[in-house]
Chain A
Amino acid sequence: MDQRPAISASQAGDGVTLAASGNWTVTEAERLNGEIRQAARLPSGTRRVTIDLSGIDRFDTAGAWLIHRTARNMVNDGLEVVYTGIGPSREILIGEVEKSDRPPAEPRREAPFVTALVNDTGEAVIQSGRDLVQLSSLLGSTVLIMAGFLFRPWRMRLTSITYHLEYMGLRAVPIIALISFLIGGIVEQQGAYQLRYFGAEILSIDLAGILVLRELGVLLTSIMIAGRSGSAITAELGSMKMREEIDALRTLALDPVEVLIVPRLIALVIALPLLTFVANMSALAGAGLTAWIYIDVTPQTFLPYLQNAVALNTFLVGLIKAPFMALVIGMIACLEGMQVKGSAESLGRQTTAAVVKAIFMVIVLDGLFAMFFAAIDY
């Protein structure tokens, strides 16, 4: 028997016989689709069509569909269609296919471009409003829960907090120390190089010291933590949301904010200032090393000079900002995590959004702090 599937038409009076042969399976469906369309172009005056399936070797639902579709179209055109050479099993199969043949569902309508644009813009605005409301709502419930800890300190989840402190704090030390060291060195080197024209190379130590302590240390750490821990928080909460673990917590009369969010926020608020301190020291060490190499300032000279260049408040300005940065990063990450819907795609989208929003807010917040400290002359 020829394995190559084919269909041939032969005419007798006002009847046409379509004889199918070969393997009518899904692997051959593309070719058969063309062939059967060709064969179904009947000469005018045809009244009866006989579809002969006896030559078919292998037959599956794709083949059955092609046969059935052709027969149905012919019946709709007012022709009489008969099957021959159809065994009991093929009859069931074609019957099944026939039963499953139904008009396709209405496609989901898509709005025209302009409408969609206006729609999306409006939604984006409303969504940012909602974000703000949710952020303050989360802040409110966090504060309430923390206030509750004053009366019932045993409800603080110390194990959980310690765990997160280790992962968000301790394990971030190497990478944060490394990048801060490099940035400190680069600032010092650039400062020295540019200030050389004014013969004020030594002032590069003032520059590096103030810049690192006031801004760079805390900014770098915050951005790093937003990328490192913020994304982790969103992904963790998001996948818990996807698998209904958060709903399960609620039904067990546990508050997800208390169980999942507050420990993470507390851990972040403790970890970020500590990491900022590490970043500061590491950046100053980098600056010191560069100063030694580039402008021959030995550590013995560098340290007393630095001590004069920066005051305690320079150091504190950076450090004060850290817990606020931590709060912003943590809350954005948690909120985005809770908004994850069912799909893997949405988990990816929310994680991206969490990191982007957190970094953006960190920089905005830093700007506000800069204005505030300038205003109070600190």
Chain B
Amino acid sequence: MAATNGSAFSVSDNAPGSGSGAGAGVTGTGPVANGAGERDAVIRGRGITVGFGRTNILENLDLDVYRGEVLGVVGGSGTGKSVLLRTLVGLQPRRGGTIDMFGTDIDSASAAERNAVERRWGILFQGGALFSSLTVKQNVQVPMREHLRLESSLMDELAELKIAMVGLAADAGDKYPSELSGGMIKRAALARALALDPDLVFLDEPTSGLDPIGAADFDDLISKLRDTLGLTVFMVTHDLDSLFSICDRIAALGKKRILVAGDLETVMNYPDPWIEEYFHGKRARATAAGMSQQ
């Protein structure tokens, strides 16, 4: 039980340039996949290669995501951030490499093992991907219905709780996705992703399309869940505020691999034109200034 409390911070203080091609160094620092230590990797990808047609989008990419951390994945358009996310969850076939999730090798796992792994993660797609013929509440209940046997009144209570936690109004539960605004769809989709209290959530641009206040609430919710549930978050984002405020580690994609991964400072000081432009441009300076004033 100490794991839930301790891990959230044990991650942010030691962050070497893991995954930046020097895969061996990373394996050296962390314990083996299912070791119960503090650098317990929830996701361990090695040599991931993904491509379309003749070109590879990702080549020999190494990635570790540690338990209880919020990992922000950044990169220019077309560097394969979303492709990486889809590859990790098995929606995009790989050309090579291995992926370990919760210590289970995804390729060699039996169907039952895979199913068990899939139940431990939740995914928030960029467009929400809510089932359009179900109400928000029914959407949240889909995973509960499929994977658990719950009394319907308890299921209603839990769904309403999740809907409230993501900051939706009480009457939103009975609405259909087509009746919701873009920001509400994001929240409803997060509620569905959190329905089974997963250990790991994948967020694809969670705050895009939200107003600044809504985005800040979203970040706040994610960090609260990390601190209380020991949630591990893999977040593809462009939002500098999120990067500065809730990400424990940042991985920058480029040149078909992870250029650099580590805490904010490590990544910011990495010599790469895109990263410099991104973190030292006008908007980044404004955000950083705002952060330091608080």
Across-interface contacts of B144 in A (CB, < 8 A): 26
Across-interface contacts of B156 in A (CB, < 8 A): 104
Answer whether residue B217 sits at the interface, using C-beta atoms and an 8 A cutoff. Answer: no
Answer whether residue A30 sits at the interface, using C-beta atoms and an 8 A cutoff. Answer: yes
Chain A residue at minimal CB-CB distance from B174: A108
Question: Please, how many angstroms separate the alpha-carbon atoms of A56 and B150 in the complex?
Answer: 21
- Contact at A343–B197, with CB atoms within 8 Å? no
Question: Please, how many angstroms separate the alpha-carbon atoms of A345 and B4 in the complex?
Answer: 42
Question: Please, how many angstroms separate the alpha-carbon atoms of A108 and B196 in the complex?
Answer: 27
- Contact at A29–B150, with CB atoms within 8 Å? yes
Across-interface contacts of B1 in A (CB, < 8 A): 56-59
Shortest beta-carbon distance, A345 to chain B, in Å? 4
Shortest beta-carbon distance, A264 to chain B, in Å? 25
- Contact at B161–A27, with CB atoms within 8 Å? no
- Contact at A102–B228, with CB atoms within 8 Å? no
- Contact at B165–A104, with CB atoms within 8 Å? no
Question: Please, how many angstroms separate the alpha-carbon atoms of A92 and B8 in the complex?
Answer: 14
User: Interface range on chain B: under 10, 10 to 19, 20 to 34, or 35 or more?
Assistant: 35 or more
Across-interface contacts of A96 in B (CB, < 8 A): 165, 224, 228
Question: Please, how many angstroms separate the alpha-carbon atoms of A26 and B162 in the complex?
Answer: 12
- Contact at B228–A92, with CB atoms within 8 Å? yes
Across-interface contacts of B177 in A (CB, < 8 A): 342-343
Question: Please, how many angstroms separate the alpha-carbon atoms of A56 and B5 in the complex?
Answer: 14
Contact pick for A345, options B132, B171, B173, CB 8 Å:
B132
- Contact at A65–B161, with CB atoms within 8 Å? yes
Question: Please, how many angstroms separate the alpha-carbon atoms of A27 and B119 in the complex?
Answer: 10
Answer whether residue B219 sits at the interface, using C-beta atoms and an 8 A cutoff. Answer: no
Answer whether residue A87 sits at the interface, using C-beta atoms and an 8 A cutoff. Answer: yes
Answer whether residue B146 sits at the interface, using C-beta atoms and an 8 A cutoff. Answer: no
Contact pick for A87, options B5, B174, B179, CB 8 Å:
B5
Answer whether residue A93 sits at the interface, using C-beta atoms and an 8 A cutoff. Answer: yes
- Contact at A342–B176, with CB atoms within 8 Å? yes
- Contact at B161–A93, with CB atoms within 8 Å? no
Contact pick for B132, options A26, A33, A344, CB 8 Å:
A344
- Contact at A343–B170, with CB atoms within 8 Å? no
Given A343-B177, A345-B133, CB of A101 within 8 Å of CB of B229: no
Answer whether residue A103 sits at the interface, using C-beta atoms and an 8 A cutoff. Answer: yes
Answer whether residue B91 sits at the interface, using C-beta atoms and an 8 A cutoff. Answer: no
Across-interface contacts of B151 in A (CB, < 8 A): 30, 33
Answer whether residue B149 sits at the interface, using C-beta atoms and an 8 A cutoff. Answer: yes
Mask: chain A, 42-66; 1 = CB below 8 Å from B; 0 = not: 0000000000000011111110010
Given A92-B224, A342-B132, CB of A26 within 8 Å of CB of B196: yes
Answer whether residue A89 sits at the interface, using C-beta atoms and an 8 A cutoff. Answer: yes
Question: In the complex, which residues 151-208 of chain B have their Cβ closer than 8 Å to any Cβ of chain A?
Answer: 151, 154, 156-158, 160-162, 164-165, 169-171, 173-174, 176-179, 194, 196-197
Answer whether residue A357 sits at the interface, using C-beta atoms and an 8 A cutoff. Answer: no
Answer whether residue B148 sits at the interface, using C-beta atoms and an 8 A cutoff. Answer: yes
- Contact at B148–A26, with CB atoms within 8 Å? yes
Answer whether residue B105 sits at the interface, using C-beta atoms and an 8 A cutoff. Answer: no
Across-interface contacts of B5 in A (CB, < 8 A): 87-89
Question: Please, how many angstroms separate the alpha-carbon atoms of A62 and B1 in the complex?
Answer: 17
Across-interface contacts of B165 in A (CB, < 8 A): 61, 96-97, 100
Chain A interface, number of residues (Cβ within 8 angstroms): 38
Question: Please, how many angstroms separate the alpha-carbon atoms of A92 and B132 in the complex?
Answer: 34
Mask: chain A, 356-374; 1 = CB below 8 Å from B; 0 = not: 0000000000000000000
Mask: chain B, 82-106; 1 = CB below 8 Å from A; 0 = not: 0000000000000000000000000
Answer whether residue B38 sits at the interface, using C-beta atoms and an 8 A cutoff. Answer: no
- Contact at A30–B148, with CB atoms within 8 Å? yes
- Contact at A105–B173, with CB atoms within 8 Å? yes
Answer whether residue B239 sits at the interface, using C-beta atoms and an 8 A cutoff. Answer: no
Shortest beta-carbon distance, A245 to chain B, in Å? 15
- Contact at A61–B173, with CB atoms within 8 Å? no
Most central of A60, A88, A97, A106 by chain B CB within 10 Å? A60
- Contact at A29–B178, with CB atoms within 8 Å? no
- Contact at B161–A101, with CB atoms within 8 Å? yes
- Contact at A103–B170, with CB atoms within 8 Å? yes
Question: Please, how many angstroms separate the alpha-carbon atoms of A26 and B131 in the complex?
Answer: 22
Question: In the complex, which residues 162-211 of chain A have their Cβ closer than 8 Å to any Cβ of chain B?
Answer: none
Across-interface contacts of A69 in B (CB, < 8 A): 157
Binding site for A on B (CB under 8 A): 1, 4-5, 131-133, 144, 148-151, 154, 156-158, 160-162, 164-165, 169-171, 173-174, 176-179, 194, 196-197, 224, 227-229
**CB pairs A–B below 8 angstroms (30 shown):** A26-B144, A26-B148, A26-B158, A27-B148, A33-B151, A56-B1, A59-B1, A60-B229, A61-B158, A61-B161, A61-B162, A61-B197, A61-B229, A62-B197, A89-B4, A89-B5, A89-B228, A90-B228, A92-B224, A92-B227, A96-B228, A97-B165, A100-B165, A102-B170, A105-B173, A105-B174, A108-B174, A342-B176, A343-B133, A343-B178
Give 19 new A-B contacts, CB below 8 A, not counting A26-B144, A58-B4, A61-B165. Answer: A26-B196, A30-B151, A33-B151, A56-B1, A58-B1, A60-B197, A60-B229, A61-B194, A61-B197, A90-B228, A99-B164, A100-B161, A104-B160, A104-B170, A107-B174, A343-B176, A343-B177, A343-B178, A344-B133
The 10 closest A-B pairs by CB, nearest first: A342-B178, A100-B164, A343-B132, A345-B133, A60-B197, A93-B228, A105-B170, A105-B171, A100-B165, A89-B228
